Structure 1
Amino acid sequence: MIQVPTIETQRLVMRMPELSDFEPLCAFYASKRAEFVGGQMEPEQVWRHLALEIGHWQMLGYGRWTLVEKETGKAGGIIGLWNPEGWPEPEIGWDLFEGFGGKGYATEAATAARTYAYETLGWKTAISLVDPSNHASRAVAQRMGASRDGDFTHVRMGTLEIWRHMSPDDLASGGMEGYA
C-alpha cells in the first residue's frame, strides 16, 4: 500500500482523500461548480468517485489530495495529479468547493502538486485540461505559466483545452518569474 505524502503550503494542507471528505464532495457535486468536471452526481456516485480518488493513488502511485484550509481546517477542494484511463497524458487538476474560489488556493496547491510531480516523480511535462467555458480554471493555468497546446475530446466531457505546463528545465531557468 502506498504512503500518500502530506504537503503543506503557506495556507493549505494537502492530504490523502478520506471518508470524511464525502459530505463536502456531495455538496460540490450537487452544485453548479461540478459542471466543468463531468456534471452533477448523486451521493451514490460521489461515494464511488471518492473511492476512485483514493484508488488512483494505489494504482498509479500518485493522485489528487484533499485541500484543507489551515485557518479553518475545512476541506476546500480536490487538487493534484490525475491520469485515469482515457486521459491523453498526466494532468494537474483542481476542483475547488463553494466558498474557496478567488483566494489563490488553486494556484497555490496546483503549483505544489507540479513541484511534487517534477521533483519527486520525475515527470518531464504535465498538462491541465480546461473546459472552454471555465474562465477561472484557464486563469489558474495561465498564472502557473502554462500555454495553450491544442484540444482533447473526451468521450463524456466533450472538447477540453489542453494547457501545457512549463517543463522542469524551463522552471529551473527562471521561466516562472514572468508569471509571479
Structure 2
Amino acid sequence: MFDHPVLTTTRLTLRVPDIGDFPRMARFLASPRAAGVGGPYDEPGAWHMFCHGVACWTLFGYGALTIVHTETGDVLGQIFLNNGPLFAETEMGWMLYDGHQGQGYATEAAFAVRRWAFDQLNLQTLVSYVSAENAASAAVARRLGAVLDPKAARDKPSDLVFRHPRGR
C-alpha cells in the first residue's frame, strides 16, 4: 500500500477520496455542469471516473484528491492527477461541486497539487485539458500561469491544452 499524502493550504485539506465521497461526486457528474468533464454521466459512468481516480494511486503513485474546506469540513470538489491510456500526458484537472465555484478553491488546490507533483513526484510536465466552452476552468489554468500549448496531443481536437510551468 502507498503512503497517501494529505496536502493542506490556507483554507483546504486535500485527501484521497473515500467511499463516502462518491454520492456527491455522482450528483455533480449527473448534472449539466459536468459537461466540462465529458458529462453528464449516469451512475456507472460516475463510478468509472471515481474508481479511475482512486486506482491511479496504486498504478502511478498519484491520483484524485478530495477538496475539503478545513474549517467547515465541507467537501467542495475534487482535484486529480490523471494518467493511463485515456490521457496523452499526465493531466491535472479539477471540479468544484455546486455552490463552491468562484471562491478561488480550484486555484488554491491546484497550486498545492502542482507544487507536490513537481517537487515530491519529480514530474517533468503537467497539462490541463479544458473544454473550449469551459471559461471558468480556462481562467483557473491561466491564474496558475499555465499557457496554451496548441501542439500538445489531445483526444478531443476541440479541447484546449494548458501546459503548467515548473517552479511556480
- TM-score of Structure 1 vs Structure 2, range by shorter chain: over 0.9
User: Does the 8 Å contact 1:152/1:161 carry over to 2?
Assistant: no
Partner residue, 1:112: 112
Q: CA deviation at 1:158?
A: 5.2
- Once the two structures are superposed, residues 22-49 of structure 1 have per-residue CA deviations (whole angstroms, 9 ceiling, x without a partner) of 1111110111110011111222332232
Instruction: Provide the secondary structure at the position in 2 that maps to 1:58.
Output: helix
Q: Is the aligned partner of 1:123 residue 2:106?
A: no
Q: CA deviation at 1:153?
A: 3.9
Unpaired stretches in structure 2, ≥5 consecutive residues: none
State how many pairs are aligned: 167
Instruction: Provide the secondary structure at the position in 1 that maps to 2:159.
Output: strand
Partner residue, 1:28: 28
User: After the TM superposition, which segments of 4 or more aligned residues of structure 1 sit over 6 Å from their partners?
Assistant: none
Structure 1: distance between partners of 2:30 and 2:157: 20
Equivalent positions of 1:1-180 (< 5 A) are 1-150=1-150, 152-154=153-155, 157=156, 159-168=158-167, 171=168
User: Does the 8 Å contact 1:79/1:92 carry over to 2?
Assistant: yes
Against the structure 1 CA distance between its residues 123 and 153, is the aligned structure 2 distance closer, same or farther, given a 3 Å change threshold? closer
User: Does the 8 Å contact 2:149/2:163 carry over to 1?
Assistant: yes
Between structure 1 and structure 2, the one with the greater Rg is: 1
Query: Is the deviation greater in 83-92 or in 125-134?
Result: 83-92
Structure 1: distance between partners of 2:16 and 2:63: 9
Opposite residue 120 of structure 2, the aligned amino acid is T
Structure 1: distance between partners of 2:74 and 2:157: 32
Structure 2: distance between partners of 1:121 and 1:130: 23
Q: CA deviation at 1:80?
A: 2.7
Structure 2: distance between partners of 1:29 and 1:109: 20
% same residue = 38
Instruction: Provide the secondary structure at the position in 2 that maps to 1:65.
Output: strand
Structure 2: distance between partners of 1:97 and 1:158: 26
- The CA RMSD over aligned residues, in Å, is 1.4
Q: CA deviation at 1:84?
A: 2.8
Instruction: Provide the secondary structure at the position in 1 that maps to 2:149.
Output: strand
Opposite residue 117 of structure 1, the aligned amino acid is A
Instruction: Provide the secondary structure at the position in 1 that maps to 2:158.
Output: strand
Structure 1: distance between partners of 2:79 and 2:113: 8
